[in-house]
Structures are given as structure tokens and as C-alpha cells.
Chain A
């Protein structure tokens, strides 16, 4: 066992206790509960291991920035978020969400996997390396935000205004989860997102449905507009929607085709009898990774309570999310969507936007890939599955598109982490593997980065 790993082993209980204090501090960003206190607590724990730490105020919740620099060495930027989802419904928790406990090899508590334990692995990796060798093998910067669960509104302006401060050779962070089989992952990107609300109002108020022969029904208009967006084969019908889709490279295809899955088990997990046919292949992950989607997240109009109410609704709305792949531009797709629906005769639709997130994908042949693969393999004893991107969306584009820095995600939570749900947990060994992976990554990069 290497020196830093030994250090972690010896201080195992203290490290856990430190994580627990972080978990005990609520930091619910959506309702401003304990976020500032958590930022200060996190900053203190960073300062204690020798990281020069600074808290930057934003319009909502502070950003905790830290650095430990070494002249002439590559710079690694670690990202993470210390805010958490609200814990409700409380009655479904087996133990209080902000009183962390260990049961059956898992640490239970709100924010355990998402993202406090995964974030904290890097702080402890730095401590282990410094305590073992007196200094780090490279420069490390930390960017921990308190607004991820509310859509990271301050992160983009902060990055744009602090390019020099955040300058680095690569970004690494830990979020999401490893493969169901226990294989580690190396994630190179996230999908983008265009999340819009479509709203049609045809008259000032609901009317008796006997007027249906004369008064336009917004629910019908919305149904027709939506059905124009996608055809029976699941293809999005907005002209030019696919124009900028970057075709996967042979290496990317190869990586994704190697991701194992059990179709039967997946169908059982989601409770569906059959998957959609898939556009070019039936392979689950080929579709998940490379296909952009158009999803109806919600639709509502009129009265749907118990019993019937023969009403002609005055307004109908739907929330639609598009998951985008490189190089689809959410702003551009939004324009295409509006043009198309206008041309199809739906000029009466009002649009609202919930979010626009650009897709991101670090090239699979980036020189850091083999280094990170090796670093992860050494800890997990098996090589990581490589995802050019996953199905979810997030802030990676801020690094890849704005800061022009490659970005990698190395998850340590397990697939049963219940993030955003009651009984969120972090696998106990996953947490310590995470610290060792952090150490391993820093050593690999310090040694191998050219």
C-alpha cells in the first residue's frame, strides 16, 4: 500500500467524522437553508489541509474557491457542489436526513452521494498527498458551488469573469454513479438541454363544451402542435434539428458498444414491457449516449378530476425537454422550434424557457484519457467504461465551451444511491475508493501530463 493510501487507512475514522459534520450541516439551496454555513464549514476543512481558500459571494449562494499551486506543474481543477436537494418527503426516510448514519456498508444522509462525499474525496486526497510527501505532485484548484440543485445560475457568469483564476489544464469531478456491475466509469460529457414551456390560450375563460363547434380548443391545438414535433419512429420532425449533430467517431462508437447491459433487468427496473424501437440500433447505450431527444415532461389543460366536467378549456400548456448532443445549440434549436411551429400554423403558442444548457463532450482521444483510465483502474482493479456522454445534463459546458478546458467525471457512488430521493446514501467503500482515486489521479497527472 502506498504512503498516501496508508495515511487514509490510519485516519479512516477521523475522515468519516469530518464528512459527517459536513453532512449534518443542511445546505438546501432552493430554500436558502444553511447554505452559507455549509460554505464556511467546507472552506474551513479546506484551509485545515493547507488549501488557500476564499469564499466568493454570488447573487444567491457562495462559491468556495481554493488552490494549492506548484510552479511548472499541470493544473487540475476540481469541481463539485455542496448544496443539496430538499429532503422531503421526510416520513419516507429510515433515519433523519441530516443525521448521517452507517447501515449495511452505506452512509445515509441527504447530500451523501450528491455531492458532499464525492466532493470531499478530493480534499482528503490532497491532505493525504501533502502529509505523505510534503507537497502535491501538481497544482490543484477547487471550484465548489452552492447552486447546482437550482440549475447553477451563478456558475457561468463566475467562470466568464474569472477565466484567469480558473485557468487549468483539465477539470475532474465526481458525481453520478458507477455502473450497476460495479465497474467504474470515465464520463467525457453531458447532454445539453432545451427545456421549454408551450402555452396556448384560445379564449379568456373556460367555456361549456357545447361551444366546441365554434370556439377553438387549446388542448386540441397543443396536441396537434406536439404531434408535429415527433414522428412515429421517434424522430424529431423540427427541420434542421439533426443538422449539427456530431456523428460519433469510431473510437466513441467502440467505447459505447462495449458498455454492458441486461435488457431484461433494465426493462424490469423501469417497469416497461418494451423499449422504443431505437433509431439506428437497439443497443441501449448507443441510443442513450448519441440520440438527442424530445420529451413531454408534463401536459395539462382543463379539468381531469374525478367525474366528468364538460368544459371547453381556455388554456393548455406542456413542458417539453430536449436533450441535446454535441454540437446542437439550445438557442438555435429554440429558434428552429418556433419557426417550425409557426409554419405549421401554431403562431398562437407562447413560449417560456426553463433552461438552456449546451451539450459537452471531451474528445475520447484526449491525452488525459489514458492517464485517468490508468489512475481509476489502479484503485478499482478494473478499467473504467468510457461514456462519451451520459443521458443527463449539467454544467460541463461551462468548462468545455466557455473555459475551453477538457472535463472528466469519475463517479464513485453506486447506482442505488437514491439521489434526490429519500434515503440517499453513499457507499462507504465507494467513498474511500474515491479518496484513493483522487490520490491516484493526482499522481498520474503529476507524473504523466505532457
Chain B
């Protein structure tokens, strides 16, 4: 029996247990913002790595959620492969819109519903189970050194990943860092992303007066809400243009080669609108224009705004505090540090001020050459295991810490999506899920990749 068949048969035999173990992991939660379930999830990972003899280590930095590290496989191999995943999950709000408890996984129609199912516990755990499957199939012949690096703060922008990489760079060092996150393509084809956008998140707080005031005084009492609304309008106008001085200065247009890659990405505009329940998108143009915007346009998004009284009963006050949370996704050549300064300056010098500004995160854009041998191996393996042509994106439409791995570890990196397709996975939204088939195929795909990694060499 060849390798892939052996792995498949192992996974099929063990299917029930493999699913049960993932469910136990999902049940533990691990909301990075509240820290609920963080230590429980860490203990779970430590136990599972120990079972594979992967010498787990819990790396801690004060005030930060721990990184779980494990190393195993063939210690004498010259090739080292590092898998990155994150065990933390998004907060589950709004709870009322979940069909079942976000932390009490339920299987419906072959899908496991729980917070973190696809993002990222399902992806992460498929890799531990891939190592298990490969150890079972190859035993002593496990071909490479395999490292796991599991972060607990990805959903809050990985504020300490840089420090962990600085302190433990030697531990994580390997020939490639593969990030497993997100899912397969909506068409059912496997999916690989060779880069990601940068991200800056900004919290602006408007404070006027020491307490809320009866709105009868509105003629002359300043309002935190109005000032913030006027500020926001000055940052981005009705046409969607970001008005922060210099924001677009360093945006580089996509190259011909990058544009060509877009042709191989399936994208159905009607289907997109239907899936998201929208009549009109913000982009004027065809499918390719949408993909271009998605990958090569920077954004300024309001992810939350709150001020004053929004209870059911009427209450008429002038709010003393109104806050907004913004996220800016950066594209090619936009430097995080520089953009941060421009954003902060625009807010601090606003005529509607004063405002309190907290600008965080500075991931930059990163892209791997599609011809890189590790990228080729991942693409070929995905094709071989699934029998389908992988969808290869030059760039992830979202953001992430990809730029940090080459910077601190000196090795290339990219993303493989093993979870449910983005448009049905409900990541960051109620009713997140992963298909049992996605999870099991992911195990086989990653085990095969680990097995073949020795071909690339150190």
C-alpha cells in the first residue's frame, strides 16, 4: 500500500476517536480577549504532544498567553519543518445567533459546529493528528524533524509573537514555517495562500464632559458622539476614499505576473453576493476587479462603535464617551510603522478633537515567490492527496503575522487552509464550523507533506 493509502486507511479506522479528540479540544474554548479556557487548551495540547513523544514546552512571557512548543520526528534529519497554528479563538458574540452553544460542539450534517472549529483549532489539531498518523505508518522511518509552534494570541493581533520569536528563535528555527489556518476553497479545491496583507488596529475614544448630560442641554454641550462621527467622516468619505493624508502614497500597483495569477482563482460574483446576502458590492466592475480590490486595495474598516444609551427604553442623553475600533489592512509597500504615524497624526490634529488614540499592531504585507520549492511541494502534495488542482492565491485577503517568520527565523513561510471554505465556515461569526471530511483530509494532506519534506533538503 502506498503512503497516502496507508494514511487514509489509518484515518478512516480511527475516525471516531479523531473527531472526539477535536471535540474535546473545541470544548475547552480559549478566548484570547478574556483568557477563558486558555490554560485548559494549553494543558490539552501539552498532553497530546507528550503522547506523541514530542517533548512539549510551555513558553511564557509575562502578561501574555503562552506559546505551546513541541519537537519530534527524526532527530538526525537535516530537514526541519515548523508548523504554526493558534489555539486561541474569537469571542463568540453575539451568542443569541448561535444555533448551539459555541463551546459545546455539535455535529449536524457532517459539520462540527463550535467556536474555533476552522479558526484555528481544527487546522492546528489536524497537524498533531497528521504527525500521529505518520508515526503510525512510518514508525522509525519518520523522515524529518518536525516542530510545532502554537500561539494563543492570534485573534488579538499576535501582540507578543515578535517577542516569542526573538526569545526562542533557535527553538523554532527550521527550513520552512507552514501556517495552517482558514479553509479549502469554496469549489472544494485545496487552497494555499502565499502571503498576507498587513494590519493596523486603532481604538479612538472621544470623551466630552464628566458624565452623560440630559439632551435638553444639547444646544451648547459638546457631544462625544457627534465629534467622533465627524472625525470618522473625515477619515473615510461616502465614496469609500480614505482621507488620511498620505495613506495611499506607498501603495504599489499589482504586477502583470500577480494579475495573471488572479485568472486561475475561481470567483463567481453572483454567488458571492448571494452568499453574503448583499445586492450590491462596493466594487464597480467584473470578477477580476473584485479580486483585485480584495487583494491589492488597502482598507479602513469600522469593526465596532459604541456610545451613549442603546437600551430598549428611550433615554435622551448626550453621551460623554463614544469609542470606535478601526482596522486598516495594508497592501504592498505600505509600511506599518509609517502608516501608524499617519493615522495617529490625522486623528490627533483633527479639528473635531481631542481624541484618545491607541494604534496597535504593525504586520506588514508578505509574499512568497510561487516558484519557491516549499510552495511547490505544498501545491503538489495537495493536488496528489485530493486529486484536485489547488487554488493558489498570491496573497491572502486577510492579514496575519507571516512577515515575522522570515524576519526572525530566516526561512520562507506560507499558508495552507485545511478547514471549511471561508464562505461557509463562519469564522469570527456565529455558527463557526468545520466539515469532518475537511479535518480528516487535512490530516492526510499534512502527513503526506511531512513525509515528502525530506525531498527538499535543508
Contact = CB atoms under 8 A, between A and B. Distances in A.
A20 interface: no
Contact of A297 (B222, B315, B324): B315
B342 interface: no
Contacts of A291: 219
B226 A296 contact: yes
B319 interface: yes
Interface string B227-240: 00110110011100
B318 A295 contact: yes
Q: Chain A CB within 10 Å — which of B278, B304, B311, B323 has the most?
A: B304
B27 interface: no
Nearest to B203: A308
A135 B213 CA distance: 46
B329 interface: yes
B303 A204 contact: no
A349 to B, nearest CB: 14
Interface stretch (A6-14, A88-96, A125-133, A314-322): A314-322
B299 interface: yes
B197 interface: yes
Interface in A317-349: 317, 319, 321, 323, 345
A210 B304 contact: no
Contact of A296 (B217, B223, B428): B223
B307 interface: yes
A210 B399 contact: yes
Given A288-B219, A299-B322, A354-B314, A208 B427 contact: yes
A423 B416 CA distance: 62
B225 A345 contact: no
Contact of B302 (A223, A226, A317): A223
A208 B281 CA distance: 15
A71 interface: no
Nearest to A276: B220
Contacts of A164: none
A391 interface: yes
A240 interface: no
B216 A191 contact: yes
Interface stretch (A38-46, A61-69, A212-220, A433-441): A212-220
Interface residues of B, number: 91
Given A209-B329, A297-B309, A299-B322, A278 B219 contact: yes
Contact of A308 (B156, B213, B236, B422): B156
Contacts of B325: 302-304, 308-309
Q: Chain B CB within 10 Å — which of A151, A210, A312 has the most?
A: A210
B4 interface: no
Contact of B293 (A214, A272, A311): A214
B430 A205 contact: yes
Contacts of A304: 304-306, 323-325
A226 B223 CA distance: 13
Q: Chain B CB within 10 Å — which of A220, A226, A232, A305 has the most?
A: A220
Contact of A319 (B209, B314, B428): B314
Interface stretch (B90-98, B142-150, B170-178): B90-98
Interface string A190-228: 010101000000111111111111111101100110110
Contacts of A308: 156-157, 201, 203, 303, 325, 327, 360-361
B155 interface: yes
B33 to A, nearest CB: 4
A210 B316 contact: no
A297 B219 contact: no
Contacts of B221: 270, 272, 275-276
Interface in B253-267: none
Contacts of B430: 205-206
Interface of B: 32-34, 90-91, 93-94, 97, 155-157, 197, 199, 201, 203, 208-211, 213-223, 225-226, 229-230, 232-233, 236-238, 272, 276-278, 280-283, 290, 293-294, 297, 299-311, 313-320, 322-325, 327, 329, 351, 360-361, 396-399, 422, 426-430
17 contacts: A191-B216, A195-B316, A208-B398, A208-B427, A209-B329, A214-B290, A220-B236, A223-B233, A226-B226, A272-B209, A296-B225, A298-B310, A298-B311, A300-B306, A302-B302, A354-B314, A391-B216
